A = this chain, B = another copy of it.
Amino acid sequence: MKKAVVLLSGGMDSVTLLHYVKQRLDVDELYALSFVYGQKHACELDMARWQADVAGVLEHKVIDISFFGELIHGSSALTDADLEVPDLDDVDEEHREQPITYVPHRNLVMLSLTASYAEALGATDVFYGAQAQDEYGYWDCTSGFVKKLNEVLNLNRVEPVTVHAPFTEKSKTDIVRLGLELDVDYEHTWSCYRGGDKPCGTCPSCVEREKAFCNAGIK
């Protein structure tokens, strides 16, 4: 593979993906793209920068789309100050399939922008860290979503970009195990949706992270 672009949030999944692409795939030029989209946990971007540097990416772009929070005002607890991020235990059955932490079409927006960047670079491969969620789910993190999105991108008449999401069938525990093999420094990743100084430990993302490390035998 000549050139590849990783969509990098700074969370444990996309960071593991970055190092996986770097170490396990034969890529000549590695690029990374991150977004400020009005998320409360913008501290993850510092982690993204740190990891991109460690992985030696040729260019890491951080794009400010913080207008996005305003565009989708009132619809997601990740971007709206008035909406509280629930503890995982407080996410009721009815909303498991699309919880309040879902951000409308965010992943499609980011992947579209990443495809734009890739096409302009002459890169045909984009990497996306979607993984198999155990506890709750988002339609835009599934392998079905990636497949259908690739059918759209494949209509491009010159050099279609393909989105690869090698972790869609992996649990977070599998990802941690892989990351440990790759010597990923998980101290420099951020998962907490609430974005205080320290991870809250009770939001869905914190709980999943802790479980994954626990299952992988790490405290």
Contacts and interface: CB of A to CB of B under 8 A. Distances in A.
Interface of A: 61, 63-65, 67-68, 71-75, 97-98, 104-106, 108-109, 112-113, 115-117, 119-120, 139-140, 142, 144-145, 148-149, 151-153, 155-158, 161
**Interface of A (DSSP majority class):** helix
Given A148-B152, A157-B98, A116 B120 contact: no
B120 A112 contact: no
A159 to B, nearest CB: 9
Contacts of A158: 97-98
A108 B115 contact: yes
Contacts of A144: 155
Given A152-B145, A152-B149, A157-B98, A119 B65 contact: no
A119 B63 contact: no
Contacts of A145: 152, 155
Contact of A115 (B74, B97, B104): B104
Given A72-B120, A109-B113, 8 more contacts: A63-B67, A75-B119, A104-B116, A105-B153, A106-B116, A144-B155, A148-B152, A148-B155
A106 B109 CA distance: 11
Contacts of A157: 97-98, 139
